[in-house]
Amino acid sequence: MDENKTYGTRLARLWKLFLSTLYISSFTFGGGFVIVTFMKKKFVDELHWIDEQEMLDMTALAQSSPGAIAVNAAILVGWQVEGLIGMIVAVLGTIIPPMVILSVISVFYNAFATNRYIALLLKGMQAGVAAVILDVVFDLGGKVLKTRSWVYIALMVAAFVANTVFDVNVVVVILAAAVFGVMLALVQWKKGGAK
């Protein structure tokens, strides 16, 4: 993709990356999955800097890496868009809003903790966050279903059942899926090499 055609100079592209991550992080509540959804809408659907498969892979990497999903996703998106400087810019845009908000809340914690209206506001935000997370589940799950691969669909269902029904820790589910993916890639590679 021609960056000059899209935003002129590299500096303008970095500025757009910073403002986009700053905006997403400032007005998104509910954690990393919600931010990843908005990153997808911004960088895949609107700006076309990343394609859908790359974003799906980045989401899987961000979730399976240690640390906050939002920061991990910002690292990957920034690196993909503008390399090391893009990564730094995206991470700064992502961490500034929560740092400022949490600093303000920590100063006025007692007032926030006992305020009935703040408690109601947070309850309402929880419902909104649940809706956005459901949107992510349907979006990513729909992409898996579109592959029409029984292996991927079975893996998705097995991961859901393991976590929801049998209360298997999500880290174990992710590691098991990663091992399965590596084994599947090796089998496909051997089949390709045998031809």
Residue with tokens 């997370």: 133
Cα–Cα distances in Å, from 30 out to 12, 24, 43, 147, 181?
Answer: 30, 12, 20, 29, 29
pLDDT digits (tens, 9 = 90+) for 52-85: 889 888 988 888 888 888 899 999 999 999 999 9
Q: How confident is the model at residue 32 (pLDDT cuts 50, 70, 90)?
A: confident
**Cα separation, 87 vs 75, whole angstroms:** 5
Structure tokens at 92: 């700064």
Give kind and range of the element (H or E) at residue 59.
Answer: helix 52-64
Residue 157: half-sphere exposure toward Cβ, Cα within 13 Å: 7
Structure tokens at 75: 């690292």
- Residue percentage of the chain with pLDDT more than 90: 41
